[in-house]
A and B are shown apart, each in its own frame.
Chain A
């Protein structure tokens, strides 16, 4: 029964789509607050404009789905769905509470890492099939961004696997102090890598709308735009849950439903910090992001592995 609840409610399907709605609204609202604007307001004023995202989705559902004549029609239609699926799959292995896990695996964290890194090839394939000048530039930038963050991300997760083991459920039980305090370097490397992976500012380089229209998403409209661009926020959901689990103590100190609520609150806290970056930072150039990834971020993530080893030696 708990497996079914995990698959259909939280952290599964319902939570994924609810997160999409809330995260997009929060991003617009937070940026508006910083810039002294109201942000979304007119649709559901009593909810602070929360349903604006739903109205936008409805508008896209009722707009014409155009498949360009020069593309491979089957791939053009299928790849946005593949990207969405690839970004949602890590949720399968991340528990939302002690018994709320869709698929419990001893190697859950390793699977999560592999799936998170496989989402980029799907985006690149999508941009390639679109065969547009802007999507082509976007695909190149996507490849270079993954080149910048994949090693630091892998190392930061390796550091936490050394500390807590590869089982996501045991990772919470093993945290006598939250991971962010035990290994702040790993958290920093994870936080920046996740911002790069999900195109958060200052790394919103592949889909820089003021430079290359919409990068890998340029040719899409209607619900295909919803699926392809929404996948970015689904990836952010996966990273938020993973961050809350490994670095903020997961559902601790509670269990059951209260634990699930605590875990979600911690994931939302991380989400808010990633979202508000939009209002704080300007966009970096691709060479600056690459230099950061292969410079200080690589050094910090390698040092985080050393910190975990020192903990292991100290704790025996």
Chain B
């Protein structure tokens, strides 16, 4: 039950943290406070813009490699006898990612 007490105590602490300023702090909302921060300027344009393609390869590489490494770790945890198969998969994934990342520069 210690885990439940930990989770409840942590959640209660965070909710108390959230409620404290509502009870103790002043509330004087103005229009300027409610708009998004633009380093002192009035907001203009969209906040979310197009992402540059430059680094997308790394994200794709991470997604592909992580799934192989994660699956290998999970397989090893389920059955330690598959260590060699897991190692081959990890080595192949790491080597491919290393070479692919060099080509990405």
Q: Which residues of A contact B94 (CB under 8 A)?
A: 151, 155, 298-299, 301-302
Scan residues 25-79 of chain B and give those whose CB is less than 8 A from a CB of chain A.
Answer: 25-29, 33-39, 47-49, 51, 54-55, 58-59, 61-62, 65-66, 69-70, 72-74, 76-77
Chain A contacts with B in 97-113, Cβ cutoff 8 A: 102-103, 107, 110, 113
B interface footprint on A76-105 (CB within 8 Å = 1, 0 otherwise): 010001001100100110000000001100
On whether the beta carbons of B90 and A6 are closer than 8 Å, the reply is: no
| Chain A residues positioned under 8 Å from B36 (CB to CB) | 68, 70, 130-133, 219
- Would B35 and A223 count as touching, CB distance under 8 A? no
Which residues from chain B contact A110 at a C-beta distance below 8 Å?
73-74, 77
**CB-nearest residue of chain A to B60:** A147
Interface membership of A22, Cβ < 8 A: no
From B11, B14, B27, B101, give the contact of A294 (CB < 8 A): B101
A3 lies within 8 A of chain B by Cβ? yes
Verify A7–B9 contact, CB threshold 8 A: yes
B residues less than 8 Å from A60 (CB atoms): 21
Asked if A63 and B25 make an inter-chain contact with CB atoms under 8 angstroms apart, the answer reads yes
Compute how far the CA of A110 lies from the CA of B2 in the bound complex, rounded to whole angstroms: 20
Q: Is the Cβ of B98 less than 8 Å from the Cβ of A85? A: no
In the docked arrangement, what's the CA distance between A146 and B15, Å? 28
B5 touches A227 (CB 8 A): no
Closest chain A residue, CB of each to CB of B17: A223
Chain A nearest CB, measured from B31 CB (Å): 9
Taking a contact as CB atoms under 8 Å apart, the answer to whether A134 and B101 are in contact is no
Q: Which residues of B contact A218 (CB under 8 A)?
A: 37
Partner of A8, one of B5, B15, B87, B97: B5
Q: Is A13 an interface residue (CB 8 A)?
A: yes
Cβ of B82 < 8 Å from any Cβ of A?
no
- Tell me whether B17 and A144 are in contact (CB under 8 A): no
Query: Contact between B27 and A147 (Cβ–Cβ < 8 Å)?
Result: no
Contact A88 B62 (CB under 8 A): no
Chain B proximity of A206: nearest CB distance (Å)? 13
A63 to B21, CA, bound (A): 7
Interface residues of B, count at CB 8 A: 61
Nearest residue in B to A60 (C-beta to C-beta)? B21
Let me know if B37 and A291 touch, CB within 8 A: no
B83 / chain A contacts, CB cutoff of 8 Å: 162, 309
Which residues of A have CB within 8 Å of B28?
64
* A287 CB–B CB distance under 8 Å: yes
- Chain A contact-residue range equals 35 or more
| Contacting pair A299 B98 (CB below 8 A) | yes
Q: How far is the CA of A146 from the CA of B69 in the complex (A)?
A: 15
Inter-chain CA distance A136–B36, complex, in Å, is 12
Interface string of A295-312 (1 = CB under 8 A from B): 100110110010001000
List of A residues within 8 angstroms of B76 by Cβ:
158, 161-162
Bound together, the chains give a CA A60 to CA B21 distance in angstroms of 8
Closest Cβ–Cβ distance, residue A119 to chain B (whole Å): 14
Whether A64 touches B26, Cβ cut-off 8 Å, given contacts A102-B2, A131-B48, A213-B37, is yes
Q: Which of B5, B14, B33, B37 contacts A7 (CB 8 A)?
A: B5
Q: Mark A269-313, 1 if CB is under 8 A from B, else 0.
A: 000000000000000001100110011001101100100010000
Contact between B18 and A77, CB atoms less than 8 A apart = yes
Q: What's the nearest-Cβ distance from chain A to residue B46, in Å?
A: 9
CB <8 Å contact, B35 and A305 = no
Which of A81, A84, A130, A151 interacts with B97 by CB under 8 Å? A151
Check if B85 is an interface residue, CB within 8 A of chain A: no
* Among candidates A8, A65, A70, A130, residue contacting B25 with C-beta atoms closer than 8 Å: A65
Partner of A295, one of B15, B18, B101: B101
Q: Flag whether A168 is at the interface (Cβ < 8 A).
A: no
Q: Flag if B2 contacts A150 (CB, 8 Å).
A: no
7 interchain pairs (CB within 8 A)?
A12-B6, A16-B10, A61-B24, A92-B7, A102-B6, A131-B48, A223-B21
